[in-house]
Amino acid sequence: MGYLGELAQALAYLKPGDLSCVEDAYRLADQAHAGQFRSSGDPYISHPVAVAEILSHWQLDAQAVTAALLHDVVEDTQVSTDEIFRRFGKSVADLVEGVSKLDRLEFQSAADAQAENFRKMLIAMARDVRVMLIKLADRLHNMRTLDAVPPAKRRRIARETMEIYAPIANRLGLDALYRELEELSFRYIYPLRHAVLAKTLKTARSTRRELVARVTESVRQQMDSAKIKTQIVGRERHLFSIYRQMLGQRKGFAQVLDVYAIHLVVDSIPDCYLALGAMHGLFKPVPGKFKDYIAIPKSNGYQSLHTTLIGPQGMPVEIQIRTRDMDRIAQTGVASHWLYKEGFGELTEVQARTTKWLQSLLEIQRTTGNPAEFLEHIKIDLFSEDIYLFTPKGRILSLPRAATPVDFAYAIHTDIGNRCVAAKVNNELAPLRSELKNGDRVEIVTAAHAHPNPIWLSYVKTGKARSQIRHFLKSMHDEESVALGERLLGQALRAHKSSVDLIPEEQWAKVLRATGVPSRTALYADIGLGTRLAAIVARELAAQSPLPGTDEQPLSVVTIDGSEGRAVQFARCCGPIPGDPIIGFIQKGQGLIVHTHDCRTARRTRTSPGRWVDVEWGVHEERLFEVQLRLVAANQPGVLAKVAAGIADSGSNIVDIKMDDERGIYTGMLFTLQVSNRMHLARVMKALRRIQAVVRISRVRE
């Protein structure tokens, strides 16, 4: 029987008309690849046929199988995409083109190149998941035949598979494929470790064979006694799974006892729980080792009951109990009830979960311009272990382990995340950075005028939360930079006795063309961020032609009220507060940095006069500024409490306290306080001087 005959048998589930289309595709591929051979020496046509047969195990539609047979013809032969379109239709042509683009991706060592290629791959999958299924089948067959390629290339392909393709297969719920890809990758990345572990497992298998047979027979008798119709399947854990446990827990092989697992496949969900009770009646369960993935499925749709029992002679045995539908989903994930099959009016839960995840990829892509950032966000989702959390209304959300209330808020909705200010975990207030535990009930408290805090980026765990926070902060920063840039340019133009409104449109157009900036807004943003100097832009604008009627305009300074956000920063070296004489320095990429006039750091950097700007305080509403006070007090009981009370009575808030390590008669304290202006600071210092134990107090300037 030739390749076509074997393929036709595997595709017996297709309709006759669809099978005829697949046969036409085979003939085209066979003709196009004639004379081509693989590294193993086999005719090249054997590869696309093997890929199509892998897809047949998932019972994919005729379009996907046709595209699998043709996935290499565009790259390696004279057949064009247009010819495929004419003969097999748009869907097949799009699939072939999508897979061909993925084939052209080379995961180079350069981080940016790899990130960009990874981004393209995931976006292609988000548009049509069949593209990725064909690519995964293609990679599986290549891994199965990897012995024929040189060792260096073998290791590179295996590592690429372990880091990229296996996690995607796992996320799509393709468990059997995921485990085989991991196992093959382990074999080629660490051939010696794989060989030693395989030999050790073979020895252990022979010594434990009788025990495993006894356990299996005991399980069979118990199920018969409980009158539960059961299919019993025993299997060993994969070598890589054992190796990962040995590595993670720093154990030797002899210490990894749960090497064997028994799958019980039953007819219904009630039978699953009856079987669980029967198993716990047969052998004692290991506390803390029971997981109910039926009530709360994994994020990739996997459902099963897991429990670990202590069998004969103390040998732990993992038992997994599921229905036939669950077993099929466990093996084939998103491909189990194919998304593109006719007759399925609604998406299954697995498909719905996968579709939601794929849509989230596109959402993260829209809010992330940097490929490396995109890769960072997605890898968080691909490599995470899930925990399951509840909303106040009982809805279940799946998030990565160690996720925070901020991750939870963004998982509900982006607006909830952007406006969250507090969280209640199990009806008790909890910090936004606290790690959530499996089964927690989480309620998010929001405020209308709240917005994301940059500190959130240091502890959020989900890709969506990280990308949305960065997107919001960047947008806010851009708006602030534009507003500041317009004010700085207005100030610079006054020196030329002009203003932004008096510059003619044609002069704006000339300057924008000369600078290569697309718009006025972008020019303002550049000035606000310090990448262009306002004085130079103003000179170019005003130099175009003299502007009449502007002789009366006075020179003015930039007014700072403290509400400008990240576009205006207050220097840490001198900590200016309202009432201090101030001056501004335009720092490239950071915007305007405000210093006090007598700041020594500012004095040292005044060698760049074009970057210094006159600034003054405006009206600041309810804004608090941080200031540091150095205080020396007698080392006596209760002195810190008296100082803290004095600060609180003055209407100030303590942000931080540091105390001297060496304490004698007197002790030094460094307070970081929040005050509204110099008058407020003076009131605080006056109140502290009234405390008898306080010997000396001063503001820290540098």
The pTM of the whole model exceeds 0.75? no
Just list the catalytic residues: 75-76
| Residue 552, pLDDT score | 42
| C-alpha span between 686 and 675 (Å, rounded) | 14
| C-alpha span between 435 and 206 (Å, rounded) | 45
| C-alpha span between 54 and 64 (Å, rounded) | 11
**Nearest C-alpha neighbor of 135 from the set 117, 108, 154, 115:** 117
| Residue 545, pLDDT score | 46
pLDDT in tens, 197-227: 888 887 777 666 777 788 888 899 999 999 9
Average pLDDT over residues 8-17: 84
Contact 95, 62 (CB under 8 A): no
Identify the band that residue 455 occupies on the pLDDT scale cut at 50, 70 and 90.
Answer: confident
Give, to the nearest 10 degrees, the angle between helix 62-70 and helix 81-88. Answer: 150
Which has the higher per-residue pLDDT, 461 or 631? 631
What are the strands, taking DSSP E only, across 62-168? Answer: none
The CATH code that applies to domain 384-461 is: 3.10.20.30
pLDDT over 80 (residue 188): yes
Which has the higher per-residue pLDDT, 148 or 588? 148
- Give the type of residue at 233: V
Domain 192-333 classified CATH 3.30.460.10? yes
Average pLDDT over residues 564-590: 77
Average pLDDT over residues 649-670: 85
**Nearest C-alpha neighbor of 404 from the set 455, 457, 461, 360:** 461
Burial of 696 (0-12, 13-18, 19+ CB in 10 A): exposed
> Which structure tokens are listed for 701?
């300037």
Identify the band that residue 689 occupies on the pLDDT scale cut at 50, 70 and 90.
Answer: very high
pLDDT in tens, 265-317: 999 999 999 999 999 999 889 888 888 888 878 767 788 999 988 887 777 88
Identify the band that residue 335 occupies on the pLDDT scale cut at 50, 70 and 90.
Answer: low
> Which structure tokens are listed for 479?
């708006």
Domain with CATH 3.30.70.260 in the chain: 625-699
| Residue 342, pLDDT score | 42
pLDDT in tens, 354-390: 666 666 666 666 656 555 556 555 655 555 567 778 8
Of 303-307, 317-321, 467-471, 655-659, the least confident: 467-471
Domain with CATH 3.10.20.30 in the chain: 384-461
**Nearest C-alpha neighbor of 336 from the set 130, 61, 58:** 58
Residues contacting residue 195 through CB under 8 Å, at least 6 positions apart? none
Which has the higher per-residue pLDDT, 329 or 124? 329
pLDDT in tens, 426-451: 888 888 989 998 778 899 999 887 88
Domain with CATH 3.30.460.10 in the chain: 192-333
Average pLDDT over residues 574-602: 81
| Residue 608, pLDDT score | 62
Of all residues in the chain, the percent with pLDDT exceeding 70 is 79
CATH topology of domain 625-699: Alpha-Beta Plaits (3.30.70)
CATH class of the domain at 3-190: mainly alpha
* CA distances to 115, 125, 353, 426, 468 from 465, in Å: 19, 21, 18, 22, 5
Which has the higher per-residue pLDDT, 186 or 301? 186
- Give the type of residue at 503: I
Of 122-136, 151-165, 361-375, the least confident: 361-375
Identify the band that residue 116 occupies on the pLDDT scale cut at 50, 70 and 90.
Answer: low
**Nearest C-alpha neighbor of 46 from the set 128, 129, 148, 123:** 148
Residues contacting residue 331 through CB under 8 Å, at least 6 positions apart? 174, 175, 176
pLDDT in tens, 226-242: 999 999 887 777 888 88
Candidate ranges 36-45, 366-375, 501-510, 674-683; pick with highest mean pLDDT:
674-683
pLDDT over 60 (residue 101): yes
Average pLDDT over residues 403-415: 91
**Nearest C-alpha neighbor of 422 from the set 399, 405, 449, 445:** 445
| Residue 313, pLDDT score | 75
Residues contacting residue 20 through CB under 8 Å, at least 6 positions apart? none
pLDDT in tens, 608-630: 656 677 788 876 656 788 899 99
**Nearest C-alpha neighbor of 397 from the set 432, 436, 453:** 436
